[in-house]
Amino acid sequence: SQKIEQNSEALNIQEGKTATLTCNYTNYSPAYLQWYRQDPGRGPVFLLLIRENEKEKRKERLKVTFDTTLKQSLFHITASQPADSATYLCALEDSSASKIIFGSGTRLSIRP
Amino acid sequence: NAGVMQNPRHLVRRRGQEARLRCSPMKGHSHVYWYRQLPEEGLKFMVYLQKENIIDESGMPKERFSAEFPKEGPSILRIQQVVRGDSAAYFCASSPRRGDEQFFGPGTRLTVL
């Protein structure tokens, strides 16, 4: 069965730096991959979707890459701010194409 | 436009009781997904429904759990004879089409005493 791994449970960086989060997957080639943000006590909020034929996608300070050879997606937040502190989840369509499955998330903390 | 609504937001049950969790998808969305999240863990898929049909229930425990999405009214996740291990946050999400971004509700936090 397919597996998703997010690089670390927690990441702490200085305000203004670029935060880079990693999502690796195995045993499957999804048609797309999504990134969500989750704040404590709340439901996840969709951020970006990138398809297998897209190498990179940007939205304001966010950038996502999708390397189907490495089976990896990188999620970047440039000029990070304390308000960016949250848990970030990657998700991909599973092999049955009937649902998406989520990674366990990376908790990002931006210190002033 | 109202987002995905879930109620109740908090539910306390004693062992052996039944829990009913409701989810009203966004207007125009006919695809509903249920997830369970334990503290400090990721979202675990439970079931995917499209009006009146269960499309994928591979994440649902075989016993005590059921879900429905009737033609009229909200989607219901039902847990019979709850046990302490059922305590978790249950999130519902909806989308207009399969594969689209999912819009999540605020969740129902179930506590089993």
Burial A21-49 (b: 16+ CB within 10 A, else e): bbbbbeeeebebbbbbbbeeeebbebbbb
Structure tokens at A33: 């991959």
Cα(B41)–Cα(A84) distance, integer angstroms:
20
What's the distance, CA B12 to chain centroid?
Answer: 16
Give the integer Cα–Cα distance in Å for A12 and B12. Answer: 35
To 10 degrees, the CA torsion angle through A54, A55, A59, A64?
120
pLDDT per position as a tens digit, B55-112: 999 999 999 999 999 988 999 999 999 999 999 999 999 999 887 889 999 999 999 9
d(CA B40, CA A111): 21
Q: How far is A88 from chain B (nearest CA, A)?
A: 10
Task: Out of B41, B42, B48, name the one closest to residue A99 (CB).
Answer: B48
CB contact (8 A) between residue A105 and residue B35: no
- Cβ <8 Å between B91 and A98: no
Residues of B in contact with A89 (CB under 8 A): 42-43
Burial of residue B22 (number of CB atoms within 10 Å: 0-12, 13-18, 19+): middle
pLDDT, residue A95, reads 67
pLDDT exceeds 80 at position A104: yes
Tokens of A49: 């979707």
What was the pLDDT predicted at A100? 83
B3-61 pLDDT per residue, tens = 999 999 999 999 999 999 999 999 999 999 999 998 777 899 999 999 889 999 999 99
pLDDT, tens digit, for every residue of A9-52?
789 999 999 999 999 998 777 888 999 999 998 999 999 999 98
Question: Which percentage of chain A shows pLDDT scores above 90?
Answer: 69
How close A19 gets to chain B, by Cα (Å)? 20
Query: SS3 of A82, please?
Result: helix
Using one digit for the tens of pLDDT, what is the confidence trace for A48-78?
Answer: 999 988 989 999 999 999 998 999 999 999 9
Q: Is 60 exceeded by the pLDDT of residue B1?
A: no
> Which chain B residue's Cα is nearest to A102?
B43
